[in-house]
Amino acid sequence: MKTKVLLIFFLYPISLFGQFNQAGLSLTILDEGEKLILQNRPDSALVYAQAILNRRKLDPLSKNQALLVRGRALIKNNNADAAVLPLQKSLSIARKLKNEPLICRTLIALGAAMFTKEYPEKDSALIYLEEAKPLAEAWKDTSGLARTYNGLANIYTDAEDFGKALEMCQRCEAILKNSQFEFEKAACYNTAGNYFADLYSRNGKEDDLKAAIVYYEKAAESFVQLGDKRYEAYARLNLGGAAGFLDDYEKAEKEVKHAMKLGVELNDSTIILDGYYSLANNYEGENRVEEAIVALNQMTELLKKIGTEGEIAFVTDQFSNQAIRVSEALVKNRVDLLNKQIEIAKSTQEKQVLWFVSILLILIIIGIVIYSYQKNKLNAQEQKLIQQQLENTLKSQELAFMRARFEGEEVGRHKIARLIHDGVGGLLVSAKWNLEAALEELSKKETQVAARLNENLRLQEHSYKELRRVVYALEQEDTPWWDDLEKFYQQITAQSTAKVLFHTYNLDNKVRGNIGKETRLIVQEIITNALKHSKASEISVQINQIDGVLGIIIEDNGIGFDLDNVIKGVGLMSIEERCSKLGGSVIFETGQGKGTTVFIDIPISDQNNLKENPLLYAGAN
């Protein structure tokens, strides 16, 4: 029989077995095998599994279950090396069957086997358990998930990744809090004890050791209630070792001897050997060196019967000469005490240096944070000032543009008055005189009245034509609207960080009048929004007239926006309403960090161009 001398009491790994209850899953072979294992009858489980495997006609599902039972029973018998092959075969069959619950069970068992081999393959164990974890979570398998967390906690503890180990222990405790899986709870307590014991070995804090003792006591009590003497013995060995490190030698001796008694009942030499080694350590800690040597000699005698040559040589080499061993132990105790005092002084000095460095780093970090905060604050204020200046510039330019338009309208009104006075006014006065004369001569001669009326009709016809000429002359803008728009944004560009590029093609009088006014407002709104919100450095505006359509493309290299989630404000709604009024369409192409491109198409027709001035197309009658 292969045995191990555990040089550190808390490194003994625990194999986890438990019930796997899944609704709607009937696995008779596996259930029966698990019952035997849980009853501490692994040999019976092995015989049962072999009987199933010896059947001539065996379906894949039954073979999978029998192999899984065999693997688990071998682990229970402390023969993890032999358990690996049947478990790997079981996993292969489960994968072919695509049976996730069985895959999960087998992965957990393989993880335990790899971790508890004579030469543990911890990386492989971690891979198996990490694959099992999402399957157990998906199937809401409390027992399997608890065993997975336990296995991972053991692996992380052994690798001194204490953060992850603590997380796994806490998760295991949380899911088992109100459950009925008592074995898993006991195993969880034992794993938590291992975690705190290993943590103590690293930082030397007694609080961690006290926490380990609390968990080992819970584990031992739980295993007593379950009637599992083997795992109770290991929990008590761990408890005795922790108590010895805490200098509670009386409790340590009591727990270790209790564990050894259980080992004798179970005929488990590994437990007895570990007990002798723990007793020797405790006796030596109490300066009971002679008793320590007796315990080591008993351990040596037992090793001669069941151990390997290497294990016997290890003990014989260190403890064969009792007299020398006693004196060396006494000297060693004094040296250890002196070294301990030196270590305490060194540790105190290191802590002082560490505190100084930590405070210095904290001050540097605080300085960097304050500097970054002030810098960001100044940058934000500068950006806000630039934005405010831009908005003020836009407002002032808009007012200047409106003022220029108003002045133009004033000049237009004077022009209207002059044209009507000089042209239409004289004709209407002549028509009035003719009508008055016609009324006076009505009683004289009808022919003269008819002549007067005909002349008046001629004058009125001429007056109407002159009035249409005046209105048409007023509609002809002195400066095209696109030139006004380009000049406006040239002034804006001079006072902002963004550059506006203007391009026009094939524009003529067909896009003046109402189309021009509305288009100018649409383009102005889009560019103003880009300057305010897009943080663009360049804005391109292209306006062209092709095949009876006024096409506009406005593109910026700014931050863009989420078109699906944007809340439309007055500006966007105004753009869409104006395009709709002209019978046109508007399309936005944008996205976060992609800039924005706006496509506008407006059909050109005389109706759109002239509908505000019916005199330009009304008939003479």
Is residue 537 scored above 90 in pLDDT?
A: no
Q: Which two tokens stand for residue 82?
A: 């032999």
As a whole number, mean pLDDT of residues 562-569 equals 75
The yes/no answer on whether domain 14-119 falls in CATH 2.40.50 is no
Average of per-residue pLDDT values in the chain: 77
> Within 13 Å of residue 31, how many CA atoms lie on the same side as its CB?
6
Phi, psi of 99, rounded to the nearest 5 degrees: -95, 95
H or E element at residue 540: strand 538-546
Please tell me the distance from the alpha carbon of residue 299 to that of residue 489, in angstroms, as a whole number: 97
Tell me which DSSP letter residue 477 carries: -
As a whole number, mean pLDDT of residues 433-458 equals 67
- CA-to-CA dists, residue 341 to 153, 247, 327, 580, angstroms: 34, 17, 22, 90
Q: Which two tokens stand for residue 346?
A: 């060194």
Written as one string, the DSSP assignment of 23-65 is TT---HHHHHHHHHHHTT-HHHHHHHHHHHHT-SS--HHHHHH
Does residue 499 sit in helix, strand or coil? strand
Classify residue 362 as left (phi > 0), alpha (psi -120 to 50) or beta.
alpha
Structure confidence at residue 86 as a pLDDT band (50, 70, 90):
very high
Do 31 and 301 touch, CB atoms closer than 8 A?
A: no
As a whole number, mean pLDDT of residues 381-389 equals 74
CB atoms inside a 10 Å sphere around CB 173: 17
Confidence at residue 619, expressed as pLDDT on a 0 to 100 scale: 42
Our measurement of the distance from residue 282's CA atom to the centroid of its chain's CA atoms, rounded to an integer in Å, reads 50
As a whole number, mean pLDDT of residues 430-449 equals 66
Is residue 529 scored above 90 in pLDDT?
A: no
- CA-to-CA dists, residue 187 to 176, 336, 485, 603, angstroms: 11, 35, 80, 80
Query: At residue 244, what is the residue type?
Result: G
Sheet containing 596-603: order of strands: 499-505, 538-546, 549-556, 596-603, 585-590
Confidence at residue 236, expressed as pLDDT on a 0 to 100 scale: 92
Confidence at residue 106, expressed as pLDDT on a 0 to 100 scale: 93
Q: Tokens 């609207």 correspond to what residue?
A: 481
Is residue 410 scored above 70 in pLDDT?
A: no
**CA neighbor of 94 nearest in space, from 48, 149, 38, 135:** 135
Four-residue CA torsion sign, 86, 91, 94, 99: positive
Is residue 335 scored above 80 in pLDDT?
A: no
Do 551 and 601 touch, CB atoms closer than 8 A?
A: yes
Confidence at residue 327, expressed as pLDDT on a 0 to 100 scale: 47
- Annotated domain spans of the chain: 14-119, 337-475, 481-610
Convert the pLDDT of each residue in 152-210 to its tens digit: 988 988 888 888 888 998 888 888 888 888 888 888 888 888 888 888 888 888 898 89
Cβ neighbours of residue 380 closer than 8 Å, sequence gap 6 or more = none
Please tell me the distance from the alpha carbon of residue 441 to that of residue 140, in angstroms, as a whole number: 114
The two beta strands, 538-546 and 585-590, are unpaired
Query: At residue 603, what is the residue type?
Result: P
Confidence at residue 9, expressed as pLDDT on a 0 to 100 scale: 30
Confidence at residue 326, expressed as pLDDT on a 0 to 100 scale: 46
User: Considering only 239-243, 351-355, 549-553, 614-618, which range has the smallest mean pLDDT?
Assistant: 614-618
- CA-to-CA dists, residue 523 to 66, 175, 352, 478, angstroms: 79, 63, 69, 20
Confidence at residue 81, expressed as pLDDT on a 0 to 100 scale: 92
Confidence at residue 12, expressed as pLDDT on a 0 to 100 scale: 31
End-to-end CA gap in the chain: 125
Confidence at residue 607, expressed as pLDDT on a 0 to 100 scale: 47
Please tell me the distance from the alpha carbon of residue 261 to that of residue 264, in angstroms, as a whole number: 5
Q: What percent of the chain has pLDDT over 90?
A: 16
Confidence at residue 543, expressed as pLDDT on a 0 to 100 scale: 92
Convert the pLDDT of each residue in 45-75 to its tens digit: 999 999 899 988 889 999 999 999 999 999 8
- Which residues is 555 bridged to in the sheet? 540, 597
**CA neighbor of 587 nearest in space, from 537, 548, 547, 553:** 553
- Which residues is 590 bridged to in the sheet? 596
Confidence at residue 403, expressed as pLDDT on a 0 to 100 scale: 58
Confidence at residue 21, expressed as pLDDT on a 0 to 100 scale: 36
- Which residues is 39 bridged to in the sheet? none
**CA neighbor of 231 nearest in space, from 416, 491, 17, 406:** 17
**CA neighbor of 301 nearest in space, from 320, 281, 284:** 320
Cβ-based burial of 297 (10 A; exposed 0-12, middle 13-18, buried ≥19): middle
Is residue 505 scored above 70 in pLDDT?
A: yes
Is residue 424 scored above 70 in pLDDT?
A: no
User: Considering only 82-96, 124-138, 268-282, which range has the smallest mean pLDDT?
Assistant: 268-282
Structure confidence at residue 322 as a pLDDT band (50, 70, 90):
very low
Higher pLDDT, 103 or 384: 103
Convert the pLDDT of each residue in 96-149 to its tens digit: 999 998 899 899 999 999 988 888 898 998 999 999 999 988 888 888 888 899
The two beta strands, 538-546 and 499-505, are parallel
- CA-to-CA dists, residue 458 to 111, 194, 290, 423, 618, angstroms: 112, 118, 147, 15, 18
Phi, psi of 511, rounded to the nearest 5 degrees: -105, 25
Structure confidence at residue 25 as a pLDDT band (50, 70, 90):
very low
Alpha-carbon dihedral 191, 193, 199, 204, rounded to 10 degrees: -160
Does residue 315 sit in helix, strand or coil? helix
Which CATH code of 3.30.450.20, 3.30.420.40, 3.40.50.720, 3.30.565.10 fits the domain covering 481-610? 3.30.565.10
Higher pLDDT, 256 or 293: 256
Confidence at residue 37, expressed as pLDDT on a 0 to 100 scale: 84
Q: Which two tokens stand for residue 439?
A: 């009324």
Confidence at residue 310, expressed as pLDDT on a 0 to 100 scale: 60
Is residue 446 scored above 80 in pLDDT?
A: no
Tell me which DSSP letter residue 320 carries: S
Is residue 540 scored above 50 in pLDDT?
A: yes
Does residue 22 sit in helix, strand or coil? coil
Q: What percent of the chain has pLDDT over 70?
A: 72
H or E element at residue 588: strand 585-590
Do 112 and 15 touch, CB atoms closer than 8 A?
A: yes
Please tell me the distance from the alpha carbon of residue 597 to that of residue 371, in angstroms, as a whole number: 39
Q: Which two tokens stand for residue 567?
A: 């809340």
Do 244 and 262 touch, CB atoms closer than 8 A?
A: no
